Every structure is written in structure tokens, then in C-alpha cells.
């Protein structure tokens, strides 16, 4: 009897979602051309509302290099899974109940979820409620526990690096300080990699709270050494030492009342208090999520998709398919869900960056 699966993409979009789905589908079709695939629209929302499209092999042709997701996506907070799907209707099922019911009503053999941190918490919840679930690690932040790398990360790093590369020429021409804000609200993997690859002079990440006065001293030191410009790569979630000591509520209140639209502009304002150097800000924003996946991500997603399909065929569920020590393996969802992979302060890349004169804003100058 042919396998019948549901597939969905959840959370923020990124490069490689389509190529990952393609890898899953092509492996299943290769094993059995009669495989049935239902693509749920807009992530878990589609599973909740029974909104899907019946897909065939042609749907997965020509999408290897296509950015975004052909199924659409949405963010569904894990905290709301036990709340009513339709709050204004009496006796409405919860979001969780609706997903479980639709899965069974559609007689699915498995559900394949492509998502990040929040999506994996929901996927694990579904597995704990009896659904056969296999997941693939998607996020440009590379912050999913259990896998060495997530797809979308390398493609986004490439874009952020290209931005920093492009800034160098105008920074050199005008002798300015440029702050490039890189995505990464909770972790600094993207900023660390793009900062090193792009030749940034200062890298500020959430894991290492910084002192703006120290950053200013670095700029002055470079200026005295005859350096015409400086490049600062800052993660969108980077905080000063004082901000890192604040409670979450106090910090959120401060951000809400701040006149600055992002951390990069706030940093620029602080630096203007310590130096008369001209400071400019560049925020590539969601541009980092878009466009075609890098060759690395195309290869990675193909391998992840193939192994995910084989896990389904072998009825190995409750796992995320990820990379560990350069091998594609299955990691139990219960070990992944709810865990964040931060940049360790003693990470070798931080050591190497400091070794070539890159600062992280917490040094003694």
C-alpha cells in the first residue's frame, strides 16, 4: 500500500524550503510512484483548518533554485496550541485537537514538518499526541539544538557577507564608520560568520553583551592608526552590558519607548556620544531571507530530504533529521524541542576572530 503523507512549512521563510520538500518528495516517488502527498497551506494553520492541496511529482519539478515556499507559511505560537481554533464559536476545538483530527481524517501515514524552534515544539507536541512526525531543520539563525547546521543559514550568511563586502568601498571612499545590522534576535551565528567573512572590525552578538564606550575606543584606536574606515557587524538582538542586566519586561518597555527603529540606529546614537566620526547604518533586513538557495543549501536540503523520506518509509518517527559530525542522522524531537543553540563565548571562531584583531565590545582597550 502506498504511503500517504502531509507536508508543511512553518515559521519564517528562508532559502532551501522548496529544495528540501523536493528532496523528500523525489525520494518517496522514486521508491513508489503512487506515493500521495498533501501539502498543507500556510504552515500549521493549514493543518488546523484542513486547508491543503493534493500534490504530484510535477509540483516538485523546477523548484530546486526557487526561494520562499510554494506552500506558504505562517507563525503559530506554541503557547496557543491549547486555545480554541475559533474563539467566537461555541464548542470550538483547540488548535491541537483540530490538527490531530484532520491528520486522522485524512488517513495520513506521516507528517513532514519543515520549521525552526517554535515549529519543532509544536511538531513534538503532535508526536506526543500520537501523530507520526518527521522534521527538517529550517532557520537562517542556525539556532536549532541537535544539528550542526540548519538549511537557510549558509544562504543568508552569503547575503549578509555580500552586504558587508559592498559597504567596504563606500566606507573606504568616505572614511566613515558603517554599522551593518544582521538578522539574529536571540543568537549571533549569522553575525559571527558574516562578520568574519566580510572583514568586520567589530562584531556584536547577543551572547556577548557589549560596552558602547569600548566600541568607540576601538574606532578611535583604528583612526589613530590611520585606518580610514571601520565596519561594525551587529546582530539585531545584541545588547549592551547594562541592557543585558535588565528584566525581560523592562527591556521590552525600553525598546517600545525607544525613538530608534533598531539596535543599529541605537548603537549609532551611542557612538556619537563618544566619537565625532561619521557613522552610517545599513539594515538589509528580510533581504537576508530571500532569493535562491546557495549551492551548499541545495546539496544539504537534498540530503536532508532523502533521509527524512527514508525515515518515513522505515516508520521511524518522532525525530528531526539533522547534521551531526558531517553525517545526516535522526535526532529525537524531545531532545530538540524548546532548546536554543547559542554561540558559546569560548567558541573557536570567537577565539580566531579575536586573534586577528576583531573586537566584540567587551575587551579592555
Q: Which residues are catalytic?
A: 141
* Residues contacting 344, CB < 8 A, separation 6+: 207, 350
Task: Give the dihedral of Cα atoms 352, 356, 359, 365; nearest 10 deg.
Answer: 120
Contact, 233 vs 182, CB < 8 A? yes
Q: State the Cα–Cα distance between residues 362 and 204, nearest whole angstrom.
A: 9
Helix (H) or strand (E) holding 5: strand 4-9
Q: State the Cα–Cα distance between residues 36 and 307, nearest whole angstrom.
A: 18
Helix (H) or strand (E) holding 212: helix 212-224
Report H helices in 73-211. 95-105, 117-128, 153-174, 189-197
Could you tell me the CA-to-CA distances from 161 to 158, 166, 172, 194, 265 in Å, in that order? 5, 9, 17, 5, 20
Reading the block at residue 353, the C-alpha cell is 576572530
Reading the block at residue 210, the C-alpha cell is 557589549
Question: What backbone phi and psi angles, to 5 degrees, belong to 281?
Answer: -125, 140
Q: State the Cα–Cα distance between residues 93 and 177, nearest whole angstrom.
A: 55
Contact, 27 vs 5, CB < 8 A? no
Burial class of residue 38, CB neighbours in 10 A (0-12, 13-18, 19+) = buried
Q: State the Cα–Cα distance between residues 123 and 21, nearest whole angstrom.
A: 17
Reading the block at residue 315, the C-alpha cell is 516508520
Contact, 3 vs 313, CB < 8 A? yes
Amino acid at each position: 500500500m502506498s504511503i500517504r503523507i502531509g507536508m508543511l512549512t512553518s515559521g519564517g521563510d528562508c532559502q532551501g524550503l522548496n529544495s528540501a520538500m523536493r528532496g523528500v518528495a523525489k525520494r518517496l516517488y522514486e521508491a513508489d510512484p503512487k506515493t500521495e502527498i498533501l501539502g498543507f497551506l500556510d504552515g500549521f494553520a493549514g493543518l488546523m483548518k484542513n486547508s491543503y492541496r493534493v500534490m504530484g511529482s510535477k509540483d516538485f519539478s523546477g523548484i530546486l533554485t526557487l526561494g520562499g515556499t510554494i506552500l506558504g507559511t505562517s507563525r503559530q505560537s506554541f503557547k496557543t496550541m491549547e486555545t480554541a481554533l475559533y474563539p467566537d464559536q461555541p464548542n470550538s476545538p483547540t488548535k491541537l485537537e483540530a490538527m490531530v483530527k484532520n491528520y486522522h481524517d485524512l488517513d495520513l501515514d506521516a507528517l513532514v514538518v519543515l520549521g525552526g524552534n517554535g515549529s519543532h515544539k509544536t511538531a513534538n507536541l503532535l508526536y506526543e499526541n500520537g501523530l507520526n512526525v518527521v522534521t527538517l531543520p529550517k532557520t537562517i539563525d542556525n539556532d536549532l539544538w541537535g544539528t550542526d547546521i540548519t538549511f537557510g543559514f549558509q544562504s543568508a550568511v552569503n547575503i549578509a557577507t555580500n552586504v558587508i563586502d559592498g559597504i567596504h568601498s563606500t566606507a573606504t571612499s568616505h572614511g566613515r564608520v558603517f554599522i551593518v545590522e544582521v538578522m539574529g534576535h536571540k543568537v549571533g551565528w549569522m553575525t559571527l560568520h558574516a562578520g568574519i567573512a566580510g572583514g568586520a572590525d567589530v562584531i556584536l552578538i547577543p551572547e556577548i553583551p557589549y560596552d558602547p564606550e569600548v566600541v568607540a575606543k576601538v574606532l578611535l584606536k583604528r583612526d589613530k592608526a590611520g585606518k580610514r574606515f571601520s565596519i561594525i557587524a551587529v546582530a539585531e538582538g545584541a545588547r549592551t552590558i547594562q541592557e543585558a542586566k535588565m528584566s525581560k519586561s523592562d527591556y521590552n518597555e525600553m525598546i517600545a519607548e525607544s525613538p530608534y527603529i533598531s539596535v543599529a540606529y541605537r548603537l549609532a546614537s551611542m557612538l556619537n556620544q563618544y566619537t565625532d566620526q561619521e557613522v552610517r547604518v545599513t539594515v538589509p533586513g528580510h533581504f537576508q531571507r530571500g532569493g535562491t538557495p546557495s549551492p551548499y543549501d541545495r546539496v544539504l536540503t537534498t540530503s536532508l530530504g532523502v533521509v527524512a523520506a527514508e525515515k518515513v518509509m522505515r516508520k521511524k518517527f518522532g525525530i528531526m533529521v539533522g547534521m551531526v559530525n558531517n553525517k545526516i542522522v535522526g535526532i529525537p524531537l524531545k531532545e530538540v524541542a524548546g532548546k536554543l543553540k547559542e554561540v558559546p563565548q569560548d567558541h573557536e571562531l570567537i577565539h580566531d576572530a579575536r586573534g586577528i584583531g576583531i573586537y566584540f565590545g567587551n575587551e579592555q582597550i
